[in-house]
Amino acid sequence: MNWKILALSSAIFAGLSAVFGKAGISPEANPNVVTSLRTVVILGVSVAVVSFRSEWSSSGLDGKSLGFITLSGLATGVSWLCYFQALQDGQAAEVDPIDKLSIVVSVLLAYLFLGEKLAWTGLLGVAFILSGTLLILKS
């Protein structure tokens, strides 16, 4: 499947995740428990997909890859803990745009540490994301 279709699908499901998460987290709910339950569901889905596709023996991961995937998992876990606490206290329509500033952070870190380059149009898009987030927060 084309990476652009997959990325768009990811954005759609992330949007659904925010709305479902906000709808499901009551003021009395513990955001850390919510994050843990969400993680268990994600783990179950991931294990089911890998098992269904018989991919356990073909991971292709070496020690370096495993280290960075572990760091990615840790960063995701902390991100989700912060996210659900923010969702409990704030509106999804405000929390999510701030959360999506991760795009700006990703582009900057990819440039600094991975040597990825971005055309001026991409940089303009990042500026729009940043300014759009600021506009949403002003309302």
- Count of all residues that appear for the chain in the document: 139
Identify whether the C-beta of residue 99 lies closer than 8 Å to the C-beta of residue 136.
Answer: no
pLDDT at position 1: 78
Burial of 85 (0-12, 13-18, 19+ CB in 10 A): middle
Give CA–CA dist 106/19, Å, rounded. 23
Helix (H, G, I), strand (E, B) or coil at 98: helix
pLDDT at position 43: 95
Query: Which residues make Cβ contacts (< 8 Å) with residue 94, sequence separation at least 6?
Result: 136, 137
pLDDT at position 36: 93
Mean pLDDT for back-to-back runs of 10 residues, the chain (139 residues): 88 88 88 92 95 88 90 92 91 90 93 93 94 88
Q: What tokens were used for 105?
A: 């952070």
Backbone torsion region of residue 29, taken as left when φ is above 0, otherwise alpha when ψ lies between -120 and 50, otherwise beta: beta
pLDDT at position 51: 95
pTM above 0.85, yes or no: no
